[in-house]
Amino acid sequence: MNKKLMAGAVLGVVALGGWLSLRPRAQTPPDPTPSVAVATTALRLGSWPRDVEAEGSVVAGAAARQILLPAAGIVGRVTVTQGAAVARGQVLAEIAPDPQAAADLRKAQNAVAAAQAGLAHTQALLAQHLATNADLAAAGQTLGDARAQLLALTETGAGTGYALKAPVAGVITTLSATQGADLPAGTALFTLAAAGGGQAQLGVPLAEAGGIAPGAPASVTLLDDDRALAATVSARAAALDAQTGLVDVLLALPAPAPIGEGVRARIQAGTLTGYGVPRDAVQTDEAGDYIFEQGRDGLAHRVNVTVLGPSGGELVLKPGFAVTGPLITTGAYQLSDGMAVRAAP
C-alpha cells in the first residue's frame, strides 16, 4: 500500500512540472524609450545691442593731479599715506627751507633794502640839482626789479618753511615724498585723484573694440564687493597697448571706487542683426557652436550655427541656418543628435 502511494506522489510531481514548463508565460513589458525633459522657444530675428565684455581695474583717470613742490626745500614730516582719503586744504607734508633758497631770499631782501636806500639818495641829490630825472628813474627801476624778485620768492615759499596742502578732496594714489630729501622746485611728491573722478580702464581685443565709441553705455561690476554701477565710455585708445596688445578703453564711473579694484564690464558697441537666443541654448564642441531644434518626430536635431556676439543675457546667431521646429533651451546640454525629448513640467 505504501509503495502505491509513493508512486502516485511521484507521478503527480512529474505531471505538475510538465504543466508548469508548457503553460503560456506572461510577457515582460518593454522598457520605455529614454527621453530628456526640455523647454523650447521660437527663434526671433531682429537687431540687438552688441555687447563687448572685458576686465580691468579702477584708475585715477583724468581727474588725477600731481602735487608739486612749489619751491626748493627739505621734506619734513609726511602726514598721509598712499591710498589715504584727504580733505581739501589738509596738510600732506611739512617742508623746511632749502639752505640755498634761504640764502637767495636773504639776498633778495637785502637787494630791496639797498634799492630803497639808493632811491632815497638819488631823490636827495635831485633836490640839490646833483642828479637828473633819468638817475631817479633808474633808481626807481632798480627798486622795482628787486621787489619783483623778492615777491617771486616769497609767493612760492622759497627760503621759508611751509605746509604742502591738498588742493581738492580726493585719494592719494601715489606718494614719492621721502622725509629728509632735499628737492628742487617742481618735484612731484604726491598724485591726488579727485573724489568721484575715478575711471575704469579695460583692455579690449582689437577685433571687438571697433564699435566702441565715447558716450556708449556700459555696466560695471566691482569684483571686491560685487557692486554694480552704470558707466559711460569716456575714451578709447587709437592704438594697441605695447605691453598687453589690447586697446585701452576708459569708462567714467558715477560713484567713487577704490583705486586699483578689479572690475568686469559689459560695453554696448553698436548692434547685431540675427537670431537672439538664450545662452543655455547654444552648445560648443570641437566642431563649433550648435543648437538643437525639436522635430515633429519628437527628437532633438542638431543645427550648426555661428555666434555673432553677446547681447545682454542672450547670444545673437548669424542668419542662414535652416530650422523648422522650436528651439530647445533648458535641457539642451543633456542632448545628443536624435535623442527623444519631452516637454518639461
Instruction: Please state the three-class secondary structure of 162-216 as a single string.
Output: EEEECCCCEEEEEECCCCCCEECCCCEEEEEEECCCCEEEEEECHHHHCCCCCCC
Residue 141 has pLDDT above 70, yes or no: yes
- Scanning the structure block, which residue is given the C-alpha cell 627760503? 159
Q: Which residues make up the CATH 2.40.30.170 domain(s) of the chain?
A: 53-62+196-271
> What's the pLDDT score for residue 197?
58
Summarize the confidence of residues 207-232 as an average pLDDT: 89
Summarize the confidence of residues 36-54 as an average pLDDT: 90
> What's the pLDDT score for residue 248?
93
C-alpha cell of residue 40: 523650447
Q: Which residues make up the CATH 2.40.50.100 domain(s) of the chain?
A: 67-98+159-195
Residue 36 has pLDDT above 60, yes or no: yes
> What's the pLDDT score for residue 163?
86
Residue 67 has pLDDT above 60, yes or no: yes
With H, G, I as helix, E, B as strand and everything else as coil, classify residue 126: helix
Q: How confident is the model at residue 260 (pLDDT cuts 50, 70, 90)?
A: confident
Q: Does domain 99-157 have CATH number 3.20.20?
A: no
Comparing C-alpha atoms, which of 46, 95, 44, 48 is closest to residue 67? 95
Report percent pLDDT > 70 for the chain. Answer: 86
Amino acid at position 268, single letter: Q
Pick the CATH number of 53-62+196-271 from 3.30.300.30, 3.30.479.10, 2.40.30.170, 2.60.200.20: 2.40.30.170
Annotate 128-145 with DSSP letters as a single string.
TTSS-HHHHHHHHHHHHH
Q: Which fold has domain 67-98+159-195?
A: OB fold (Dihydrolipoamide Acetyltransferase, E2P) (2.40.50)
> Which pTM was predicted?
0.50
- Give the lowest-confidence range in 118-132, 187-201, 299-313: 187-201
**CATH for 36-47+274-343?**
2.40.420.20
> What's the pLDDT score for residue 31?
47
Q: How far apart are CA 127 and CA 107, in angstroms?
A: 30
